[in-house]
Structure 1
């Protein structure tokens, strides 16, 4: 059983051992309501799944959620769900399942960790014992596979590459640090920097900047070069620390293709210079919009024993 909680939608599915999904359902993430109002949408998703004939065969449940998360407490405080602050989503979801006869173990994972589990199970990191997987979108998140095991850390935030500092005298990040990858390479940062440098494209988003870069606009190209360099520095630092051999990048900014990947790979050559990281691969994620639900199920498989 998989539940994917984000700022715009709450989705659910029954995920089979081969990764196939059935009974897929979704609800819009409620706005202008309290914590229980948001939880009501989760309960509706659970109710939809419970109507499926395969419901009784579910052995565990994975929840993937936008963060911050604290998996040690089972709580979430998603940036884009203002009604939830330290909300006990794991406990509340387990109660919804039990009320419908499914007394199964439930695990919580941040969306970056869930994406990592998905890509290692069925995606671009499959077959790699040590991998870094990243989501580059409005923010920058990620997760780690070490020795073929998902490594979420004590609170579920290990691999949160977006808040590695790659510019010690850089601007202050929303997290309170300076020069974080997210403040340089997120979609928001790319668009903000391009506009500050005089770019005047019609679509003031990272996608708009990417379109201009593909057409040869020098400011747009420089914006992606700056972002690619920040990502390359963080990827190389991570690989040097824990010896990952592949970095998988997904998310909306990664959809720009070589506009992003070319500068990442070019700059990586100068940052990943030691013998044990110089062959590090950087590849696009393979699972796209399915990564959230597949990742929630994969995290449950990797972090929980079979019931």
Structure 2
């Protein structure tokens, strides 16, 4: 266990966690919504410090990050716990509970593993990384000094003060924007405004940002919502990549997968305002390729997780028309 950083002391040893907008009030001996923060005799502890449930070399496109070292692989690790309550979670075995099998590491060990596997970075993914705040912060600070880049795949549900501290040592994020439907966000235990603030703050901190929206039939699949979502993203930058991803049944959701026709329609609507929109979880979709928004040239061709750079020069410009493309190579 590791003492937590963000909490307030209340009366009778009761604590309020201030890591995320849930602001859990936690009595002695109890945990918060994420299950990874516990009040032990009036002191808040992180229960999952250095606890790994998954570790693998993954294609960077799996995060998904399409404009960040395309075609590379990155050491990806997950812990356990989550601060939202999605009944369609695809990693519920580690987000909803602490698994029986755990590997424990300290930050420098994880950095050495990344070096030994010739990984340019470390991606914290699979479960919600922000609930492992102290471990990620310690690891990120050391990793940056060693030239190891830090990636977060996150729901973006974190308070502003810890976010401001964390992004100082983060290079790239994929933020799961659950959709534009505020009622849907409340259904999964959150408020959309906090995620939007995280996206804004990450961009302001010059972190590479890509967004993912998992489209679930009957929940967040309306054309009107996608138009509003794309309009808001475009107001920040039309160059922010948006991944529109197909839902498949998981955990407590057994409704059929999202129709391809629905995804194609939403893709077309988002492209009216955004330069880089991708479809995910669809095999062989040409909508996963990157095209020049100026001349239409094929820049990066993707077939599953196989990636081939076609018409990008070493400085990230379209070799056909010279347009600068927001891709880190």
TM range (shorter): 0.3 to 0.5
* Greater strand share, structure number: 2
Higher RCO, 1 vs 2 (CA within 8 Å, ≥6 residues apart): 1
* Greater helix share, structure number: 1
TM-score, with structure 1 as normaliser: 0.37
TM-score, with structure 2 as normaliser: 0.35
